[in-house]
A and B are shown apart, each in its own frame.
Chain A
Amino acid sequence: MTLQHFMNEAISPWMREDGPDSDIVLSSRIRLARNFADRKFPIIADNNDLEEIRDFFRNEYENASFRDYDNFEFFPIKDLSAVEKRVLVEKHLISPLLAKHGEFAATMISHNEQVSVMINEEDHIRIQLYFPGLQLSNALTKAFEFDDWLEEKINYAFDETKGFLTSCPTNVGTGMRASVMMHLPALALTKQINRMMPAINQFGLVVRGIYGEGSEAIGNLFQISNQITLGKTEEDIIEDLQSVVHQLIEHERKARTRLMEQSGTKLEDRIYRSLGVLKYSRIIESKEAAICLSNVRLGIDLDIIKNISRNILNELMVLTQPGFLQHYAKKTLTANERDVLRATLIRERLQLEEK
Chain B
Amino acid sequence: MQCQECQKRPATLHFTQVINGNKTEVQLCEVCAKEKGYMSYPEDGYSLHNLLTGLFNFDSSQMKSPQGTQFGQHTELQCSKCDMTFSEFKRIGKFGCAECYHTFSTHLDPIFRRVHSGNTKHRGKIPKRKGGNLHLKKQVESYKTELQKLIVNEAFEEAATVRDKIKELEMQIRKKEAGEDR
Do A158 and B131 touch (CB < 8 A)? yes
* Contact residues of A: prevailing secondary structure: loop
CB-defined contacts of B96 to chain A, threshold 8 Å: 40-41, 43-44, 167
Which of A52-60, A228-236, A307-315 binds B? A228-236
Do B122 and A176 touch (CB < 8 A)? no
CB-defined contacts of A43 to chain B, threshold 8 Å: 92, 94, 96
- Decide: A173 near B95, CB < 8 A? Known: A231-B116, A335-B35: no
A64 is an interface residue with CB less than 8 A from chain B: no
Say which residue of A147, A204, A334 sits within 8 Å of B117 (CB atoms).
A204
Q: A residues bordering B, Cβ < 8 Å?
A: 35, 37-41, 43-44, 96-97, 122, 144, 147-148, 151-152, 155-170, 172-174, 176, 204, 211-216, 228-234, 237, 285, 334-336
* Contact residues of B: prevailing secondary structure: loop
Question: What's the least CB distance linking A205 to chain B, in Å?
Answer: 11
Say which residue of A37, A39, A170, A173 sits within 8 Å of B124 (CB atoms).
A173
CB-defined contacts of B15 to chain A, threshold 8 Å: none
Complex CA gap A182/B52 in Å reads 27
- Decide: A169 near B93, CB < 8 A? Known: A158-B130, A233-B124: yes
- Scan residues 71-121 of chain B and give those whose CB is less than 8 A from a CB of chain A: 81-82, 84, 92-98, 101, 108, 111-112, 115-121
Say which residue of A44, A96, A151, A216 sits within 8 Å of B130 (CB atoms).
A151
Do A168 and B116 touch (CB < 8 A)? no
Closest to B92 in A: A43
B160 is an interface residue with CB less than 8 A from chain A: no
Say which residue of B6, B115, B131 sits within 8 Å of A169 (CB atoms).
B115
B64 is an interface residue with CB less than 8 A from chain A: no
Do A159 and B101 touch (CB < 8 A)? yes
Say which residue of A151, A172, A212 sits within 8 Å of B112 (CB atoms).
A172
- Decide: A156 near B130, CB < 8 A? Known: A144-B125, A229-B116, A232-B123: yes
Question: What's the least CB distance linking A232 to chain B, in Å?
Answer: 6
B128 is an interface residue with CB less than 8 A from chain A: yes
Complex CA gap A32/B48 in Å reads 18
Closest to A232 in B: B123
Say which residue of A152, A165, A212, A229 sits within 8 Å of B95 (CB atoms).
A165
Question: What's the least CB distance linking A60 to chain B, in Å?
Answer: 15
Which of B16-24, B38-46, B147-155, B172-180 binds A? B38-46
Complex CA gap A151/B132 in Å reads 13
Say which residue of A39, A170, A237 sits within 8 Å of B52 (CB atoms).
A170
Do A167 and B95 touch (CB < 8 A)? yes
Do B130 and A155 touch (CB < 8 A)? yes
Interface centre among B31, B48, B127 (most CB of A within 10 A): B127
Complex CA gap A64/B94 in Å reads 33
Closest to B55 in A: A169
CB-defined contacts of A164 to chain B, threshold 8 Å: 122, 125, 127
Closest to B89 in A: A169
Complex CA gap A329/B112 in Å reads 48
Say which residue of B123, B131, B134 sits within 8 Å of A231 (CB atoms).
B123
> What are 21 pairs between A and B in contact, CB < 8 Å?
A35-B98, A41-B82, A43-B96, A148-B128, A151-B128, A157-B98, A159-B101, A164-B122, A165-B101, A168-B94, A170-B52, A172-B101, A173-B116, A214-B43, A214-B46, A215-B42, A229-B116, A231-B117, A231-B121, A285-B31, A336-B6
